[in-house]
Amino acid sequence: MSENIDDLRYIRSTMEKSSKFLTLSGISGVAAGCVALVGAMIAYKIVYDSLSVTGSMLTDLFILSALVLILSVALGVYFSWRKAQKSGVKLFNGISFGLFRDGGIPLVIGGVFCIILLHNDCPSLVAPTMLIFYGIALIGFGARSYSDIRVLGACEILLGFIAGFIPQSGLLIWTIGFGLLHIIYGAYMYLKYDYKVRKK
């Protein structure tokens, strides 16, 4: 009986590995969170050094957000590549491309919508929009990767709604969502998945 259960567990594990992207590194979440915190510190300086909301300030914040996103993605790819190398699997395959496609669509739509908000002088709604669309993307990621990602996505969406009701605290809530939550989630994922692999 126990042998049959072990066989079923092995089959389930094999099927999961072949259909899901499991090389996402917890360290990448921590790194992304740290990048977001540094970006938030710079953003606070840009905002509070300005006497009023100007086009130049919004442009600076948009460029800063883009740099934070690019660096976070680059670090995520790097640490996931390292994990894939240690696990003896390919980082880029049909599953990972499907993951990036499913999660990338809401990110692109959210990014375009943020540009529309800025164009129509609604900068206070940019932070809530970023959090909500990012959360939707994470829930999409969770379908092809670790299901825990969906919890993080739900938390990001919730924070986005809160930021929408109190837009004056948008930057603070953005910092919590992209900075603090990423660090907590990344550390949790590392201890739950990566650390066990490293100990073997």
pLDDT digits (tens, 9 = 90+) for 13-33: 444 444 455 677 888 889 999
Residue with tokens 């999409």: 140
The 10s digit of each residue's pLDDT in 95-148 is 767 777 777 889 899 989 998 998 898 888 999 999 999 999 999 888 777 888
Structure tokens of 161?
Answer: 């709604």
Share of the chain above pLDDT 70, in %: 82
Interacting residues of 189 by C-beta distance below 8 A, sequence separation 6+:
24, 25, 26, 29, 146, 148
Q: Which residues in 62-85 are b (16+ Cβ under 10 Å) and which e? A: beebeebbebbeebbeebbbebbe
CB atoms under 10 Å from CB of 156, counted, come to 25
How far is residue 51's CA from residue 192's CA, in Å, rounded to a whole number?
A: 46
Task: Return d(Cα 2, Cα 111) in angstroms, integer.
Answer: 51
Asked if 113 contacts 133 with a C-beta cutoff of 8 angstroms, the reply is: yes
pLDDT of residue 109: 94
Q: Is the pLDDT of residue 193 over 60?
A: yes
- Give the mean pLDDT of 22-45: 89
Give DSSP secondary structure letters for 87-102. Answer: HT--SSSHHHHHHHHH
Higher pLDDT, 45 or 179: 179
Cβ–Cβ under 8 Å, residues 20 and 38: no
End-to-end CA distance of the chain: 27
Looking up tokens 């389930």 gives 12
For the entire predicted model, the pTM comes to 0.82
**Token duo for residue 30:** 């921590």
Radius of gyration for the chain, computed over Cα atoms and rounded to the nearest angstrom: 19
Kindly list the distances between the CA atom of residue 134 and the CA atoms of 75, 110, 188, in Å, as whole numbers in the listed order: 17, 8, 19
Residue 182 has pLDDT above 70, yes or no: yes
pLDDT > 50? residue 185? yes
